[in-house]
Amino acid sequence: MAAENDLPEVLETTEAERLATGFLFTEGPLWHPDGYWYFVDIRQNKLYRLTPGRAPEVVRDTAGGNGTTFDLQGRLVICEGDGRRVSRIGPDGKLEIIAERCQGGRFNRPNDVVCRSDGSLYFTDPDKRRPYHEREIPGPAGIDNLWDGARVYRVTPDGALTVLAHCEYPNGLAFSPDERTLYVANTRSSKYIHALELDAAGTMTRRRIFADMNEGERAGIPDGLKVDSQGRVYCTGPGGIWVFTAGGKRVGIIQFPEQAVNFAFGGADLRTLFCCAHTSVYTLRVKVAGNPHPWYRLRR
């Protein structure tokens, strides 16, 4: 794998270290500054905590948990796809529902979530994995729009829910370092990354295609998405984790022994790349730190 991972601008190490294995489908990686990782096994509905050098431990059961983040108070936020909601786990371990309905209907299957420095949460809700007869969010009156239920949402700190954008199949999310661009991985039929340009208040002003990720028959789809502190965009895709410059030029693909599904930056210097790859979780070291979560900055 060392020869394949010839990305001298990106990688400090090229051989992935497997930290744990034996899962069914790992997802939702997240670094906690106290020195451990969160991730989920979607198929087992389990949220895990993994301290390097130790065996992973189950934190709690989830309802199809997927994407994770923190709010500005350091509480764990998780998209529970089977539960059709976005939830938060408090310091006492109790689960609090942040959002589960729009226009009177339940969400389809919330997938990924990120936190902005003003405390707003943005999350994706694709509809294609929900049978048509189970979709509850109404479209515009008299319009048969199959994309209408696939959306990116925003929840403000006071709980107000708004639709930020409609997408074909919105999946992973990540902010640019200045938070003026929200990248959205588009999965399934068309494989690309959207760039949603935001104003100072966090509302979309325009959108564009940042990168096309359609390539041959290799396994993998645009899914997990992150940005480093220099603005480079990382996204899982065919063959591994694709790396792009802030201008959209592809730098290369980071490959792992299994197909990469999602990943996160972590470690004390945010230069450890933690990868969820189906049955196992792996790490590599990178040369540029990930873009820090707003809560990390508040802890300093």
On whether the CB atoms of residues 231 and 177 are closer than 8 A, the answer is yes
Residues 78 and 70: their CA atoms lie apart, in Å, by 9
Q: List per-block mean pLDDT (blocks of 10 residues) for the chain, which spans 300 residues.
A: 70 96 97 97 96 95 93 97 95 93 94 98 93 82 56 96 94 98 89 96 96 83 96 96 96 95 97 97 98 92
Taking Cα atoms as reference points, which of 22, 114, 108 lies closest to residue 67?
114
pLDDT score recorded for residue 1? 42
What residue type is assigned to position 293 of the chain? Answer: H
pLDDT of residue 139: 64
Top CATH class, 17-136+147-299: mainly beta
Q: What is the model's pLDDT at position 128?
A: 86
pLDDT of residue 140: 56
Provide the pLDDT for residue 156: 96
pTM: 0.95
Q: Give the per-residue pLDDT at 142.
A: 41
What's residue 148's pLDDT?
A: 67
DSSP one-letter code for 203: -
Tell me 64's DSSP state: S
Residue 283 has a CB neighbour count (10 Å cut-off) of 18
Quote the CA–CA distance of 223 and 112 in Å, as a whole number: 9
**What's the start-to-end Cα distance of the chain, in Å?**
37
Work out the burial of residue 44: count CB atoms within 10 Å of its CB; fewer than 13 is exposed, 13-18 middle, 19 or more buried.
Answer: middle
